[in-house]
Chains A and B, each alone.
Chain A
Amino acid sequence: MSTEALVQFLDVQKIYPNGTAALAGVSFSIRAGEIHAICGENGAGKSTLMKILFGLEQPSAGVLRIGGKEASLRSTRDAAMAGIGMVHQHFSLVPSLTVAENISLGFEPTVGGVFFNRRAAHAFAEDLSVRYRLQIDPRATAASLSIAMKQKAEILKALARNVRLLILDEPTAVLTPAEAGELFDHLRQLKAAGVTILFISHKLKEVRAIADHITVLRAGKVSGSAPLCSLADAEVTRLAMGKLVPSVSRHADRAIGAAALQVEAVSRAARRSASRITDITLAVAQGEIVGVAGVDGAGQEGLVEVLTGDAVPDKGRVLLGGEQIGGLPKARLRALGVSHLPADRYKTGGASALSLTENAMALARRSPRLSIGQYLKSKACEVLAREMIEAYDVRCTSPRQPLGSLSGGNAQKLIAAREFSVKPRLLIAEEPTRGIDVLAASTIHGRMVDLARSGTAVLLFTSDLDELLTLSDRIVVMHDGRIVAQFISSPDLTTEEIGRAMLGLETSHA
């Protein structure tokens, strides 16, 4: 490992046209041949940094040097030419194309310059697969691959273009702890083969396991950059978090009441494996927060679909307060007091083009406060929106502005405000704080706990194990469409135990 800098950021800034400063002057170096980690909370600027390196965005100011020379990366092609490859968090594989076709896309081997030389493409993919010891079938279509296999294909795709620098964006977000270990082995092999690796993550434990050097970002600036061995965990956390964020935790004195939600032996066969569930039995009491853990596609989506009226169970019953709700349409579920915080906030949780008021009033539109029969009281609607904005600290200029103009965190707060303020009997929350800044996440956590305290039963689906541990009274782990483990939350419970259950290795019922 040499000390020569492969990539240098010199006071790089990125200010978006609406005034947000994603990067406020970042300076650090990545040495050739090292595994360099970039850490920081959501919103600190990690994604923006990476987009600049990969040619997806251009800096507003500052200099980027690659291999000693000033570089201006205006497209992903430029980045590829500069030897930079990236493994995306949500993958960049075209579903209907085979692995070999995906790998070759953009610089395909040809016959006579026009016809696609499939055989050569397959051979190339096989060759890569052997060379980097990443087993994969080049003929498989991308859509048919499992998540871990997709990631391998992504890595091969990046490596195929003779990379000097490989960027990995939150690669372990979708992997079980064991699969993550396998990934780290591959990364070490790559390092031995001379590839420099940039590893972006907010999980400190993993960073410790793999990285040589760490750069911590906070609020768009570098708050520290040093070899990892010289920093203690507490030090890194301090660099990443800055001030102390009010932590929210369950309180033992929260009263847990009668059973609210009862899921009894519910099964549903579906074409998508992520929607398949088998023999699910669980109960959530009033005032209780039950967290559901599992890798991507372990069946959480299927359970959510059944509970929110998107799908009808083939077997079993779903009861809310003793009443059958399985198979009821969404409108009925809403009327019965079921709220849902969806995973994809802009796709399902709100209408970006409509105003904050129009988004906020959606659930309360039939209430006498907002309407008399068909007639809507516009003023009352706006007042309601203002109340929600106030209570949830949504940063905005006016309730008339479109939802799409808010930042992710503020939009999520408004959506949460809408779903929580109808005082539901049951709240189904999916990934409530994914991709939003720490303060907004803290606000939402606080309100969720308040909601539970006032008697709502909460079923929390999240891939953030820390969030799960902090908020849940009980934790249920799903694997392959079934519930394989249950844990009572206690200070001794670790993410490792949960991780093993997520893999299906441990089945314990507390």
Chain B
Amino acid sequence: MSFASHIPGIVGVVNAMLRVATPILLAGLGALLSERAGVINLGLEGMMLSSALAGVVVSAYTGSALLGLLGAMTVGALLGAVLHGAVHILNTDLILSGVALNLAASAGTVMCLYWLTGEKGISSSLSSKVLPTIAIPLVRDIPLIGPVLSGRNVMTYVAFFAVPAVSMMMANTTFGLRLRAAGQDPASTAIAGVRVARIRLAALVLSGMFAGMAGAYLSMGYVSWFGANMSGGRGFIAIAAEVMGGGTAYGTGVAALVLGGAEALAVTVQSYGAPSELIQAVPYIVPVVALALYARQRQRRTAAQ
């Protein structure tokens, strides 16, 4: 049957979609946490990049992929704290501080790599570890969706479970309640006796941690090395995904899948002869189009009321 012969192709595309969506979803959850707390984190890009390097370096020197992941998350969390410190203690501009963080990470990771390995640009000399893919024994034999559900990278599963976890945290914990309150009305929240600055610090640290997970996946899952500027704008795409998701965890998940799907489809089309450069432009044009459509929807909805 001609449909059956297409299945491996479709499975391949879906797997590609999940692979592309994973870092965007993880970083997108980070964007969500900070944005809902009232501090937009434009430094996600730089946090991802720095964490990607940290993951490679730590896993190479300790021989453990898990430690590499933890190292990446720690670096991300620290950078989140630094961003908060800059804005809260030094009173810098939040958006420009995020931009500064990205520039510092872009330059700083190259410098760190050079110091550690003498290489400029790529970490080929480091034998960094890789985050494993997980084959689930019974699931993988399910027809059609088995090859999709089983055998994905561990971070994809983490991302999948992170969505409901974050959603539940926002809705049902006191931390989530205070975070939402601080983001919507910091003055009233402070008057109620909640320390808004601390909430925002926690939000940025968590945001950095998620960026760390995304970065670790990039350099230890997607590929197994670190290259200069390998985050490639994904931090900004994650922010777009969060906006498209309407500020909810599930929305961000769906948006990340949509963006991942668009890129996966584009890559498939490439095998039919489309120019690779134009294909590479797709992951950046799709979010812009999607954002515009989303904004127009929202505008129409407000006008109708």
**Interface stretch (choices B62-70, B89-97, B171-179):** B171-179
Does A148 lie at the interface of the complex (its beta carbon under 8 Å from any beta carbon of B)? no
Q: Which A residues lie within 8 Å of B177 (CB)?
A: 97, 101, 105, 108, 116
**B243 nearest CB across to chain A (Å):** 18
**B194–A105 CB distance below 8 A:** yes
A-B Cβ contacts below 8 A, count: 64
Does B141 lie at the interface of the complex (its beta carbon under 8 Å from any beta carbon of A)? no
**A116–B174 CB distance below 8 A:** yes
**A88 nearest CB across to chain B (Å):** 7
Q: Which of A76, A88, A91, A110 contacts B193 (CB 8 A)?
A: A76
**A96–B180 CB distance below 8 A:** yes
**A490 nearest CB across to chain B (Å):** 43
Does B125 lie at the interface of the complex (its beta carbon under 8 Å from any beta carbon of A)? no
Q: Which B residues lie within 8 Å of A417 (CB)?
A: none
Q: Which A residues lie within 8 Å of B172 (CB)?
A: 115-116
Does B2 lie at the interface of the complex (its beta carbon under 8 Å from any beta carbon of A)? no
**B173–A115 CB distance below 8 A:** yes
Interface positions, chain B 161-213, Cβ under 8 Å from A, are: 172-178, 180-181, 184-185, 187-195
**A93–B193 CB distance below 8 A:** no
Q: CA separation between A96 and B38, bound complex, in Å?
A: 14
Closest residue of chain B to A271, judged by CB?
Answer: B305
Q: Which B residues lie within 8 Å of A95 (CB)?
A: 184-185
Closest residue of chain A to B176, judged by CB?
Answer: A116
Q: Which of B173, B176, B193 contacts A77 (CB 8 A)?
A: B193
Known: A97-B177, A114-B175, A116-B177. A80 touches B188 (CB 8 A): no
Interface positions, chain A 465-509, Cβ under 8 Å from B, are: none
Known: A105-B177, A271-B305. A76 touches B184 (CB 8 A): no
Known: A108-B174, A110-B174, A116-B172. A97 touches B180 (CB 8 A): yes
Does A94 lie at the interface of the complex (its beta carbon under 8 Å from any beta carbon of B)? yes
Q: CA separation between A108 and B173, bound complex, in Å?
A: 10
**A115–B184 CB distance below 8 A:** no
Q: Which A residues lie within 8 Å of B184 (CB)?
A: 94-96
Does A107 lie at the interface of the complex (its beta carbon under 8 Å from any beta carbon of B)? yes
**Chain B interface residue count: which class?**
20 to 34
**B188–A92 CB distance below 8 A:** yes
**B181–A94 CB distance below 8 A:** yes
Does A106 lie at the interface of the complex (its beta carbon under 8 Å from any beta carbon of B)? yes
**A334 nearest CB across to chain B (Å):** 26
**B193–A97 CB distance below 8 A:** no
Q: CA separation between A105 and B188, bound complex, in Å?
A: 10
**B305–A92 CB distance below 8 A:** no
Closest residue of chain B to A97, judged by CB?
Answer: B181
Q: Which A residues lie within 8 Å of B195 (CB)?
A: 77
Q: Which of B173, B180, B193, B302 contacts A80 (CB 8 A)?
A: B193
Q: CA separation between A108 and B193, bound complex, in Å?
A: 11
Interface positions, chain A 102-129, Cβ under 8 Å from B, are: 102, 105-108, 110, 114-116
Q: CA separation between A291 and B236, bound complex, in Å?
A: 52
Closest residue of chain B to A54, judged by CB?
Answer: B191
Closest residue of chain B to A81, judged by CB?
Answer: B193
**A168 nearest CB across to chain B (Å):** 14
Closest residue of chain B to A91, judged by CB?
Answer: B188
Most buried by A among B180, B188, B195, B302: B188
Known: A105-B178, A106-B194, A271-B305. A94 touches B173 (CB 8 A): no
**A508 nearest CB across to chain B (Å):** 36
Closest residue of chain B to A109, judged by CB?
Answer: B174
**B192–A116 CB distance below 8 A:** no
Closest residue of chain B to A157, judged by CB?
Answer: B192
Q: Which of A92, A97, A110 contacts B191 (CB 8 A)?
A: A92
**A92–B192 CB distance below 8 A:** yes
**A106–B173 CB distance below 8 A:** no
Known: A76-B191, A94-B189. A116 touches B173 (CB 8 A): yes
Closest residue of chain A to B180, judged by CB?
Answer: A96
Q: Which A residues lie within 8 Å of B173 (CB)?
A: 114-116
- Taken residue by residue from 400 to 419, chain A's Cβ proximity to chain B (1 for < 8 Å, 0 otherwise) reads as 00000000000000000000
Known: A116-B172, A116-B177, A271-B305. A94 touches B188 (CB 8 A): yes
**B280 nearest CB across to chain A (Å):** 40
Q: Which A residues lie within 8 Å of B188 (CB)?
A: 91-94, 102
Q: Which B residues lie within 8 Å of A106 (CB)?
A: 178, 192-194
Closest residue of chain A to B186, judged by CB?
Answer: A94
**B174–A114 CB distance below 8 A:** yes
Q: CA separation between A106 and B175, bound complex, in Å?
A: 10
Q: Which B residues lie within 8 Å of A97 (CB)?
A: 177, 180-181
Q: CA separation between A114 and B192, bound complex, in Å?
A: 19
**A443 nearest CB across to chain B (Å):** 31
Q: CA separation between A97 and B189, bound complex, in Å?
A: 11
**B170 nearest CB across to chain A (Å):** 11
**A119 nearest CB across to chain B (Å):** 12
**B192–A105 CB distance below 8 A:** yes
Q: Which A residues lie within 8 Å of B191 (CB)?
A: 76, 86, 88, 92
- Taken residue by residue from 102 to 119, chain B's Cβ proximity to chain A (1 for < 8 Å, 0 otherwise) reads as 000000000000000000
**A85 nearest CB across to chain B (Å):** 10
**A152 nearest CB across to chain B (Å):** 16
Closest residue of chain B to A113, judged by CB?
Answer: B174
Q: CA separation between A91 and B184, bound complex, in Å?
A: 14
Q: CA separation between A91 and B188, bound complex, in Å?
A: 8
Q: Which B residues lie within 8 Å of A102 (CB)?
A: 188, 192
**A94 nearest CB across to chain B (Å):** 4
Q: Which B residues lie within 8 Å of A107 (CB)?
A: 193
**A107 nearest CB across to chain B (Å):** 7
Q: A93-B185, A96-B180, A97-B177 known; 15 other A-B pairs, CB under 8 Å? A: A76-B190, A77-B193, A91-B188, A92-B185, A93-B188, A94-B181, A94-B184, A101-B181, A105-B181, A106-B178, A106-B192, A106-B193, A108-B174, A108-B177, A271-B302
Interface, chain B (partner A; CB < 8 A) = 172-178, 180-181, 184-185, 187-195, 302, 305
Listed A/B pairs (12) with beta-carbon separation below 8 Å? A80-B193, A91-B188, A92-B188, A93-B185, A93-B188, A94-B188, A97-B180, A102-B192, A105-B192, A114-B175, A115-B173, A116-B176
